């Protein structure tokens, strides 16, 4: 992948002898990807020699790092409390903040966005102990704590689908999680999804994703479902919705997130609506935006203490 030259890093202070030093940055990942996801290959250089560190490695020493940036920590979903406790211990050096992670790692946030008047795919919750009632039409069942389309499936009104959906809800409840039910947005089959990437509240780039879920397909248990992705030019309407969503987050939490991914689909009238907002460990699709790593690095550096 051809990349623009990385932006020179902001210094944190003089090194011995008066020479300026780069900030030391850790890129938090998981055991399955100890060297990070392939999409993040440009980040160590863009951040002046950042290092990938497994978030739950008991040997990891986080103290020497000026900043810890959450990236491919894709195994936390069944250990969310442990993950959030780790995030909280890192304090202000964590990017994005532990407060944002606590809010964003449970998809109940979608109802809060909808209550704020933002366009969001309707979402119903099925808490543990509650009975599942299949809705009319096509729908999707997923956990409120999940990533990569794991434990997620699409259902129709075909005979037997309600039984399959109830079994998925039961499995989600057995894992200690809440299930969520959304209508399947028909436009996804023909127009796919758009992922909007914003760094420090500023639009960076967009990509197009093909449809992920097919009727009758069993939920994936892999870290993420296979995706068909290509670069795309975002529309003015998509940019406006993404700006509104990230603007609300910035106002609610007192600062813009260093990175955000707003996943959009089109409603029946062709208007963009929010499917998900990713502020924790999203793929940022740098392979489709050569300028992306430098923009991301700038946003991260602005989180250095004293900036």
Domains of the chain, residue spans: 16-104+293-301, 109-279
The pLDDT of residue 102:
98
User: Residue 225: pLDDT above 90?
Assistant: no
In which band, very low, low, confident or very high, does the pLDDT at 22 lie, cut at 50, 70 and 90?
confident
pLDDT score at 61: 98
Q: Phi and psi of 115, rounded to 5°?
A: -65, -25
Give 57-84 pLDDT, tens digit per residue: 999 999 999 999 999 999 998 899 999 9
What pTM was estimated for this model as a whole? 0.87
* pLDDT surpasses 80 at 12: no
Confidence of residue 5 (pLDDT cuts 50, 70, 90): very low
Q: Cα separations (Å) of 150 from 62, 78, 187? A: 29, 11, 22
Average pLDDT over residues 30-54: 96
Q: Of 205, 208, 195, which is closest to residue 293 (Cα–Cα)?
A: 205
pLDDT tens figures, 89-139: 999 999 999 999 999 999 999 999 999 999 999 999 999 999 999 999 999
Q: What's the pLDDT tens digit per position in 256-297?
A: 999 999 999 999 999 999 999 999 999 999 999 999 999 999
Position 117 scores a pLDDT of: 98
The pLDDT score that the predictor gives to residue 185 is 93
pLDDT for res 10: 34
Q: What is the mean pLDDT of residues 233-246?
A: 98
Instruction: State the pLDDT at residue 78.
Output: 85
Q: Is 90 exceeded by the pLDDT of residue 214?
A: no
Burial of 181 (0-12, 13-18, 19+ CB in 10 A): buried
Helix H or strand E segment including 103:
helix 98-104
Q: How many helices (H) and strands (E) in the chain?
A: 8, 13
Question: What 3-state DSSP class applies to 179?
Answer: strand
Q: Which CATH superfamily is domain 109-279 in?
A: ATP-grasp fold, B domain (3.30.470.20)
| Structural contact between residues 47 and 303, judged by C-beta atoms closer than 8 angstroms | no
CATH class of 16-104+293-301: alpha beta
Q: Could you tell me the two tokens for 65?
A: 């790092």
Beta carbons of 230 and 207 less than 8 angstroms apart: yes
């Amino acid at each position: 992948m051809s990349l623009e030259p990385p932006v020179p890093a902001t210094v944190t202070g003089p090194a011995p002898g008066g020479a300026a030093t780069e900030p030391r940055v850790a890129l938090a990942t998981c055991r399955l990807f100890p060297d990070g996801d392939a999409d993040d290959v440009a980040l160590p250089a863009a951040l002046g020699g950042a290092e990938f560190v497994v978030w739950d490695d008991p040997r990891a020493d986080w103290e020497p790092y000026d900043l810890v940036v959450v990236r491919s920590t894709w195994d936390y979903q069944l250990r969310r409390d442990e993950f959030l406790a780790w995030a909280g211990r890192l304090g202000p050096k964590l990017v994005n903040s532990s407060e944002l992670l606590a809010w964003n790692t449970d998809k109940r946030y979608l109802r809060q966005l909808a209550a704020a008047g933002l366009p969001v795919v309707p979402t119903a919750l099925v808490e543990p102990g509650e009975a599942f009632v299949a809705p009319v039409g096509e729908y999707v069942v997923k956990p409120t704590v999940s990533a990569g389309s794991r434990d997620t499936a699409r259902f129709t009104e075909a005979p037997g689908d309600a039984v399959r959906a109830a079994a998925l809800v039961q499995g989600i409840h057995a894992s200690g999680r809440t299930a969520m039910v959304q209508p399947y947005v028909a436009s996804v089959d023909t127009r796919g999804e758009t992922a909007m990437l914003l760094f420090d509240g500023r639009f960076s780039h967009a990509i197009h994703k093909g449809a992920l879920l097919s009727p009758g397909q069993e939920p994936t248990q892999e870290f993420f479902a296979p995706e068909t992705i290509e670069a795309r030019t975002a529309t003015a309407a998509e940019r406006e919705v993404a700006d509104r969503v990230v603007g609300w987050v910035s106002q609610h939490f007192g600062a813009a997130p260093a990175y955000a991914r707003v996943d959009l689909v089109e409603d029946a009238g062709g208007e963009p609506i929010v499917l998900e907002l990713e502020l924790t460990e999203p793929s940022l699709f740098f392979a489709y935006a050569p300028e992306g790593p430098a923009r991301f690095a700038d946003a991260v550096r602005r989180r250095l203490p004293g900036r």
